[in-house]
Structure 1
Amino acid sequence: VMSKVLQDSDYEISQSYQQDILNNTVCHPTAVQYPPSSSYSKLFLKTLISKIEESGQEVQEDLYTTYTDLLSCNEGDIDSCYKTYCFGENVSVTLKETKKMVVGGTTGMLTWEAGCFLTEWCLRNSQLFAGKRILELGAGLGLLGLGVIKQCNPESYIFSDRHHGVLDALASNLELSISDEAPIEVQRDWRDGTEWRLNNTVVKIMELDWEKKVCPKDIDIILAADVVFSNKLTPSLVGVIEAVLKNERAQAYIASTRRNPETLEFFKEQLDMHGIDIEWTEEIKDYSSPHLILATIVLMRLSKRID
């Protein structure tokens, strides 16, 4: 509906339809419980109201009231908000994210484009992950893993990252998803090697330093998004992938936003040097997704070369 309103100034939008839009966006129970940034909600309502006014139609009173209430809100020094990612009608993931690109020396407090794409791709290909033991590298705030756990029924899922601040935030987001299903009686700490259970999947969060190459055993699938960004780190990343792919049945799915072609080519060279084959590559410019804006994503499936 919003795309029609934005693109067609003559599009008729009744009072009841306006109320439906409000109830399913800014006033939706999820948005009320886990509010996005007020600046985002203000911009959304301001744009909607402007388009309705430009078309000469009457704006529903609750739209004005909600917008003016938001104008009186001052976010001040609040540097985080909630974001809810919807994938089709059945899967949604709510995360607490920072509004800043870099926090504490890491970019892992935001969800990036390739993570959104790989989540959508995995959900469309859920049969590949059912009953599998999955390790995610550079898991960030948990979007990919939570989406896969909710839809794809893996046997186990290990979220891994290096930055303790990211891992703490990831644990909070995991407990956010678990609490939506059942009350949490005891807050758990990933540092204790704690295992969670979500949708019958055994879930663990672990610190993984690629340079040490100490990997979990018996992994069927590696998932990783937006981890190819530094030539300095790439050899260590490939070393971890190689260690897991020693299990000949194992595969890796790596999604990267195409930013610096040289970085991606260096990654491919390192894969070849370590005897890892790129089974197939898919390059996607998917502007139909609300989570992908002007982003070119490269998806690769990797396996160990058999001599």
Structure 2
Amino acid sequence: MASAAPEGVSLFPLPRYYFSLYPVGSIPWALLLVPYVTWEAQEALIDETIYADLTCSPPLKYSVAFVKRLVTELGRITDEVHDLWYEFIAQNNAELNTPESERGFIAYRVGDSSISLGYDVSGRFIEQGTTGLSQWEAGRYLASWLVANKCAVEGKDVLELGSGSGLVGLVAAGFSAARRVVLTDGNALVVKALRANVKSNKLDNVEVAELNWDDQSRSDLLESAEVLLGADLTYDPTIVGALMATIRRMRRDAVCYLCSAVRTDSTWREFLKLLDGLDVKVLVPGPAQWEGLVREEFLAGRCPRPKDLDMDIVLLEIRPRASCDIVTNEIDFAIGA
């Protein structure tokens, strides 16, 4: 039986699945391979994927897995499977047990624009005490919201807190026309990787700075930012105090968009207590409200769609001056209290 795309999900050209590191078991091969049953068509696909002249290629381990599955699926519909697919597998199989085979790039495309981010699953960053290069659910959802709500950052100076891979900030710069974006993180290894991501994307309006939330010496970063962005920063109760202290130091006319995955009610409620005295609005309270906002380009088969989430993802708008007292019940609604 031919596989089909999930209901409500648009199909993309096959190379886009490849460069977004879409899980090979979830790619709708039967639908996508129909145009590639001839030798000539496969040569064109080879040039657009595994032999594309790019510096930002997927990790080798993913590329080999992609080609192996492609060859299997092609064999179901045609006897003409190009020799170059097999040559690619044979040439690279021996390298699959090296850490380098797990490092490469993941690409996100919206319209004619794309951004590429370093992708490393070798364990190197986890051993250094950070998961900073991972792209978590809240970051993918906030990136989608920024594309749908371009006016939130368009023409403005933006500061991203705890940037990690830089997905959110680079989307603000590359897809949503922010005037200037500063990506920040407190981990030196992550900051180095962020600089590499900025360089690979050739975005002149993006800078990188190391920023520890306990360090008040970089007040200049907060003073120049009209918009603060943050995704998945509230999961650890030991750091949310420092996070909120940093947010409270933003300009009086600034706004912070903070997107959080609510993994445990107790941690979320402790975080809510730190919002006292701020002007807080719940822009998106949960999965149902994300429907129609989240873009398949950012989910990339690696992040649940809203209807499949097993947690709430909440987007807050935070301003420094409270126009009225926080309506605690309204924020509690964001976790179904």
The TM-score bracket by the shorter chain reads: 0.7 to 0.9
Q: 1:108-127 counterparts in 2 under 5 A?
A: 108-127=132-151
Give CA-to-partner distance per residue, 1:73-107, whole Å, 9 cap, x none.
34524375221322223222222232126141111
Identity in percent: 22
Compute the displacement of 1:277 (Å): 1.0
Distance (Å, rounded) in 2 between the aligned partners of 1:270 and 1:149: 30
Which secondary structure does the structure 2 equivalent of 1:228 belong to?
coil
Which of 56, 70, 80 is matched with 1:48 structurally? 70
- Please tell me the residue identity of whatever aligns with 2:209: M
More strand per residue: 1
Q: How many residues align?
A: 281
Distance (Å, rounded) in 2 between the aligned partners of 1:164 and 1:174: 15
Which secondary structure does the structure 2 equivalent of 1:169 belong to?
helix
Structure 1 unaligned spans of 5+ = 179-197
Compute the displacement of 1:227 (Å): 1.1
1:173 aligns with 2:183: no
Which of 262, 265, 279 is matched with 2:269 structurally? 265
Cα distance 1:9–1:27, how it changes in 2: closer, same or farther (>3 A)? closer
> In the alignment, is the contact (CA less than 8 A) between 1:281 and 1:301 conserved in 2?
no
Distance (Å, rounded) in 1 between the aligned partners of 2:77 and 2:199: 45
- Please tell me the residue identity of whatever aligns with 1:21: L
Aligned to 2:90: 68
Structure 2 unaligned spans of 5+ = 1-12, 15-25, 325-337
Aligned to 1:290: 300
Aligned to 2:180: 156
Which of 219, 230, 236 is matched with 2:225 structurally? 219
- Please tell me the residue identity of whatever aligns with 1:131: G
Which of 190, 211, 217 is matched with 1:208 structurally? 211
> In the alignment, is the contact (CA less than 8 A) between 1:129 and 1:154 conserved in 2?
yes
Which of 129, 141, 153 is matched with 2:165 structurally? 141
Distance (Å, rounded) in 2 between the aligned partners of 1:10 and 1:45: 12
Aligned to 1:193: none
Distance (Å, rounded) in 2 between the aligned partners of 1:8 and 1:152: 32
- Please tell me the residue identity of whatever aligns with 2:110: G
Compute the displacement of 1:265 (Å): 3.2
> In the alignment, is the contact (CA less than 8 A) between 2:184 and 2:211 conserved in 1?
yes
Which secondary structure does the structure 2 equivalent of 1:42 belong to?
helix
Higher alpha-carbon deviation: 43-52 or 6-15: 6-15
Cα distance 1:240–1:5, how it changes in 2: closer, same or farther (>3 A)? closer
Aligned to 1:237: 243
> In the alignment, is the contact (CA less than 8 A) between 2:198 and 2:207 conserved in 1?
no
TM-score, length-normalised on structure 2?
0.72
Aligned to 1:14: 37
Distance (Å, rounded) in 2 between the aligned partners of 1:94 and 1:262: 36
Which secondary structure does the structure 2 equivalent of 1:123 belong to?
helix
> In the alignment, is the contact (CA less than 8 A) between 2:236 and 2:267 conserved in 1?
yes
Compute the displacement of 1:52 (Å): 1.8
Superposition CA RMSD, Å: 2.9
Which of 34, 58, 72 is matched with 1:36 structurally? 58
Which secondary structure does the structure 2 equivalent of 1:82 belong to?
strand
> In the alignment, is the contact (CA less than 8 A) between 2:173 and 2:179 conserved in 1?
no
1:92 aligns with 2:96: no
